Structure 1
Amino acid sequence: MGVIAWGYISTFNSKQLFLLYKRDHIALETIVYRFYNPPIEFKTQPIGLTHMKTFSATPADIDKKWIIIDAEGIVLGRLASIVAIWRLRGKHKPSFTPHMDMGDNVIIINAEKIQSAGKKREEHFYWHTGHPGGIKSRTKAQILEGAHPERVVTQAVSRHAAWQPSGARTNDKPARLCRSGDHPHEAQNPEVLDVASMNKKNTRSACSTSDEINTLEDLQAVAGEAANACS
């Protein structure tokens, strides 16, 4: 017989009391005492603890900050996940409310110096002109070396954004990307967010190798240069 049953023993009939006595081997004196002296109503909350209400932010509670991120040497996917999932949506704040726009204003500089892991620089971006046979593609490396390298970061951040059940993005506001170290938002006094110091895996060095390898000495020299560049 569990302890919780004593709270309802005053509602038991004689047959239920007999089962308590025979089946559960509870002393008859205990049953009679509990029947005529029902205990106090049980509390679901332990003594000393208080209930905490769920906080739901209002527009007056939202504090948007301006942050700046230097993308030089940062891995593209890790930067996109930090910006899209956490900073643009505001999930890093204790007062995060899903249906409110809690995100910060993000400025990304040196977007053309972003790094990629493995052979992802050779991945293709596809689009279609709308005419028969009009499918086009460019590699990520070609875009980074072209006139608009910030489009790679823009696409990565957009694809990392969460989806709503209706099919819309939860945060459709883009980050402000700049090709060089200069940006037109000095008046907002943005705070510097050091993504490289968050995790050692967030950075990657660009390795350069020579294509002219004819002898064993050339191979050893190229291996040494690549090891020094990637260290």
Structure 2
Amino acid sequence: MVVLMRLYQVVGKRIQLWIILSKGGTLSQVLELFVNSTFPYIVSHNKTVVYWEDVLLDENIRVQSTILPRENTILQTWNNGHNNTKRLVSSGYRTIVSSSEFYYLDCGHGDFLGNDSIYDQQTGTVTKDGGSWCGPFKTWQTMYNYDITYGLTEDEAKLVLGGEVALWSEQADPTVLDARIWPRASAVAESLWSGNRDDKGIKRYAEATDRLNEWRSRIVARGVRAEPIQPLWCIKNPGMCNTVNSLA
């Protein structure tokens, strides 16, 4: 009986999709059908539903906020940096920040398309992002210094649950996995967990460099192929590779 009921549900949904599209319906209506079909089921199991921001913010395919109750919905943002975070929390939604401009680990390695003519240039200026849609490469410093609640009010900031780095697999497999993730993800972990400022409110990326070097050495000793962030001489002489901001 359970199998028959499940089959009925699947076939029934397909018929509904066909009716929507055959009568000039939109993909937004299809998405709404999906949300209305799955949302109650997830909530009925005492779970919170997490969607990428697109379900609400996409320009072409989205649903109305009226079918996404804020008490049961978390939205994860990946576009337009602080702007989309602001849009979500100002609408009352709890938010996880995964900005592609700061937290995407796979950016800066070109594109996976095999027939892209933009690389057929002799000037060394393919594009400003090197042909990667989310380029350039996100350095650990860029990721560490990102403030995920920048520009938010105190009440809005309370709706930001945290951040999450992302590594998509179009150009990543086990042979490069360790170096793509570590130690950059560790830098984000410290920034989110302990904050990226000291007691005086000053960014502490200089001292974070030494901690990250130490951490990288430890995980390499355990077999993790984390990429280096400085030459060995800098590691053996902490602080000597820092920029000089003042001669006074």
Normalised by the length of structure 1, the TM-score is 0.24
Q: Which has the higher contact order (CA 8 A, sep 6+)?
A: 1
Choose 1 or 2 for highest CA Rg.
1
